[in-house]
Amino acid sequence: MQIGFLGTGLMGAHMVRNLLKAGHTVTVWNRTIAKAEALAADGATVAASPDRVVAGVDLVISMLADGPATEAILSDPALRQALSPGSIWVDMSSAKPEESRAHARGLAPLGVAHLDAPVSGGTRGAEAGTLAIMAGGAADTFDRALPALDAMGRPVLVGPSGSGQLAKLANQAVVAISISAVAEAMLLLERGGADPAAVRDALKGGFADSTILQQHGARMSARDFAPGGFTRLQIKDLDNVLGEAASLGLTLPATQETRRRFVRLRDEMAGGELDHSALFMELCDLNQLETGR
């Protein structure tokens, strides 16, 4: 497929490389142009502006910070004029469900189909091509986009427009609360004198096992909080979870408390640019222990 890719940050760059490895032709753009230019060596074509990325392609993929960032590009008249009728826009950013539905409505008069297809799996999943891809939209649009989506991970159509973002919000609630639970478990093991690495090995395949236990548990033990998933973006996702819950008349107490702790990590411990597994630092600080940063 001829693909235009907008947003080649920590995850987007790996996703582009996997598209290229699968034989697709990819034109890339990033606000910080050096991040896009780094992909030229892998075979990508670098464009100077978003409208040049989308011109003449079968599929546009956006991997941006949030819904408003995507909207800012979508609303550009030059880009809208450059879009090809019959093409597909796949927004793999994390946004609010209503933002994605609005994007779909805005593209329809241009003859451009839309999928909201946020991902989970972090930079490791992006690099390995094993991302969980939660797609919302029409079944025929999803089927047409599969050659690209399959190159980046495991795509599943979860419902109509906006459903992919709703699934991502559910995912982020599980991730955040699980990080909190794993942090407590790792600290308990350390202070109690057990070997956290040995315990993680013992729990493999058991009911408590998870990617977060194994990967983020190891990060916590090593005090390695180099960003894979930023704390500031975790907070943004939790804000969206709670906003959607409020619109449905729901109270999510565990999500509320976990968000409060992530905000404390960001605001009181300057942890916004750290990996979200750095919630372990906040827990150490809460217990008046060395954070190990």
Residue 256 corresponds to which amino acid? Q
Check residue 223 and report its DSSP letter: T
- 3-state class (DSSP) for residue 22: coil
Of these residues, 21, 35, 96, 168, which one is catalytic? 168
The H or E element that residue 180 is part of is helix 163-192
- 3-state class (DSSP) for residue 283: helix
Instruction: Say if strands 113-116 and 88-91 run parallel, antiparallel, or are unpaired.
Output: parallel
> Cα angle at 123 between 231 and 286, to 5 degrees?
25
Nearest-angstrom CA–CA distance, 48 and 178: 40
Structure tokens at 170: 């559910």
Catalogue the E-assigned strands of the chain: 2-6, 25-29, 45-46, 59-62, 88-91, 113-116, 119-120, 131-136, 153-159
- List CB contacts of 72: < 8 A, sequence separation 6 or more: none
Backbone angles phi, psi at 130, to 5 degrees: -120, 25
Instruction: Say if strands 88-91 and 45-46 run parallel, antiparallel, or are unpaired.
Output: unpaired
Residue 33 corresponds to which amino acid? I
Active site includes 168?
Answer: yes
The CA–CA distances, whole Å, from 219 to 51, 114, 276, 277 equal 40, 37, 10, 7
Active site residues: 168
